[in-house]
Amino acid sequence: MSTSTAPDESRLRLRAFLDAQFTVLLVVCLLVAAAGGAVVYTTHVEPGTETQTRTVSSWTVETEYVHSAEVTEPSPVFSIGDELTNRETYFASVAPELDVAAETTYAADSAESVDVAVNSTLVVRNVGEEDVVYWEQREPVDSTNATDVERGETVSAPFTLNSTAIDERVATIEEELGASPGETETFVVTDVEVAGTLNGEEVTYTRSTQFGISHEGATYTVSDPGVQSDGDEQQVTETVERTYGPLRGIGGPALLVVGLLGTAILGYVRYEGLLRVTEAEREYLSFRDDRSEFGEWITRVRLPPEAHERPEAHADDLRDLVDFAIDNDTGVVEDPNTGAFHAVSGEFVYTYRPPLAPAAGSLDDSGGDGSDVGGPEEDDGTEGGLFTRPLFGGGSDGEGREIDGDTGVDGDAESADDADGRVGDDA
């Protein structure tokens, strides 16, 4: 008589889970395959089109001020003829005249017949709150016109500002008016115009910039706006085929393959009955769940022979036995030899004998019921060889001899002593 090996319980649980969730898993696989197919179709078969705008050409115009003052009076730190360049503050006593140049240049992919006009005007005015202008005086200081200016060529429009003369002019105006209700400010307005054919299109560009100057006694300060840049782009709008990244290009086929493969595997194992879980296997898993859940209520103890002399009542499952023990304020013991569970209360011993683990071969049997496990020559006396020992204590050993339900030994040897001197009890 052969001895079967208990199966890997995790495999049995996996099979039971797949069997119970088969429909859900099949739907998931089909959805994954459908999603993958849709991605593959829209990515590789019919990607569709999209509208794109791209720049075919552009042009820019830049204007900036460069300024310097030449030292005309001797001083302990400067020599006559020294040039003070691009400073924020200058000394009116040694370098009263400020030389300024408004420089304009443009860039384009192509240009024809481009003219540049630069006009600068000195503005002196008195301004109050909310930009109320009380008085204003304007004086042109430069007008420069250049024709057929090439790309990258700089048009320079120079002018000179005498800070001392400007300060005297302001004082004279205020004296003649008798009052200055607001704040007096002085600056140069430069109007730039670029006209011509840029990148094949007729363009007329205009811009105004300001260069400020304020006299503060022995010094004067300039307010330089820095480089002022403007431009435009010529763009075209076109319809092109939509493109996707590598993630979508690879992910779509991967989803399709995974979904179809999962569907095929699920269909095959269901058709072959590889997921079928027998009632005995379900009963075994239920017992294992109860054994884990109620482990704290169970103690591994071998009851004395006297306990088994009481009338025996049988519980349908371990949960019922534990509930009974709790209600009757007694404990549940697990016999370490037989695996049976007992609860002693009053004149009865209440017993639950768990189902035994299905034989390992039953997991691989296409029928799923374990009927062919072991073969005729290896029948161990159980039904079809599915269990490693009888589901309940009594029965036959396959040779006509009865098996004692408690001892699990030959009935003729019931009175024989075991190896350690214990007489045939449940231990």
The pLDDT tens digits of the residues spanning 18-59 come to 888 888 988 999 999 999 888 888 887 878 777 878 777 789
What amino acid occupies position 408? Answer: G
Residue 384 has pLDDT above 80, yes or no: no
Residue 383 has pLDDT above 60, yes or no: no
Residue 244 has pLDDT above 70, yes or no: yes
Other CB atoms within 10 A of residue 267 CB:
13
Residue 286: predicted pLDDT: 87
Name every residue whose Cβ is closer than 8 Å to that of residue 56 and which is 6 or more positions away in sequence: 234, 235, 236
pLDDT greater at residue 83 or residue 404: 83
In this structure, what token pair is assigned to residue 248?
């979508």
Residue pLDDT, tens place only, 193-207: 999 999 888 999 999
Q: How many Cα atoms sit within 13 Å of 222 on the Cβ side?
A: 28
What is the average per-residue pLDDT within 260-288? 86
In this structure, what token pair is assigned to residue 217?
């006694």
Range with top average pLDDT, 152-161, 384-393, 395-404: 152-161
The C-alpha angle with vertex 381 and arms to 377 and 383, in degrees rounded to 5, equals 100
Q: Return the CATH number at 213.
A: 2.60.40
The helix/strand/coil state of 278 is coil
What is the average per-residue pLDDT within 74-103? 93
Domain that holds residue 125: 56-239
User: Does residue 187 lie within any of the structural domains?
Assistant: yes
Residue 97 has pLDDT above 90, yes or no: yes
Report the distance separating Cα 49 and Cα 237, nearest Å.
Answer: 13
Residue pLDDT, tens place only, 114-169: 999 999 999 999 998 888 999 999 999 999 999 999 999 999 999 999 988 998 89
User: Does residue 91 lie within any of the structural domains?
Assistant: yes
User: Does residue 104 lie within any of the structural domains?
Assistant: yes
Q: 298 has which bridge partners?
A: 332
Residue 361: predicted pLDDT: 45
Q: Residue 41 — φ and ψ, nearest 5°?
A: -65, -50
Residue 265 has pLDDT above 60, yes or no: yes
In this structure, what token pair is assigned to residue 377?
């020559």
Residue 323 has pLDDT above 50, yes or no: yes
What is the average per-residue pLDDT within 373-391? 34
For the chain, the average pLDDT equals 80
Residue 359: predicted pLDDT: 63
396 with 402: CB under 8 angstroms? yes
CA 390 to chain centroid: 56
User: Does residue 95 lie within any of the structural domains?
Assistant: yes
Residue 28: predicted pLDDT: 93
Number of domain units in the chain: 1
User: Does residue 156 lie within any of the structural domains?
Assistant: yes
User: Does residue 299 lie within any of the structural domains?
Assistant: no
Report the distance separating Cα 368 and Cα 360, nearest Å.
Answer: 12
Residue 360 has pLDDT above 60, yes or no: no
Q: How confident is the model at residue 419 (pLDDT cuts 50, 70, 90)?
A: very low
By mean pLDDT, which of 43-57, 245-259, 306-320, 360-374 is the weakest? Answer: 360-374
Q: Which residue has the tokens 């004082």?
A: 171
By mean pLDDT, which of 41-50, 179-188, 234-243, 370-379 is the weakest? Answer: 370-379
67 with 226: CB under 8 angstroms? no
User: Does residue 140 lie within any of the structural domains?
Assistant: yes
User: Does residue 27 lie within any of the structural domains?
Assistant: no
pLDDT greater at residue 404 or residue 301: 301
Residue 252: predicted pLDDT: 85
Residue 131: predicted pLDDT: 84
By mean pLDDT, which of 118-122, 215-219, 391-395 is the weakest? Answer: 391-395
Residue 67 has pLDDT above 90, yes or no: yes
Q: How confident is the model at residue 233 (pLDDT cuts 50, 70, 90)?
A: confident
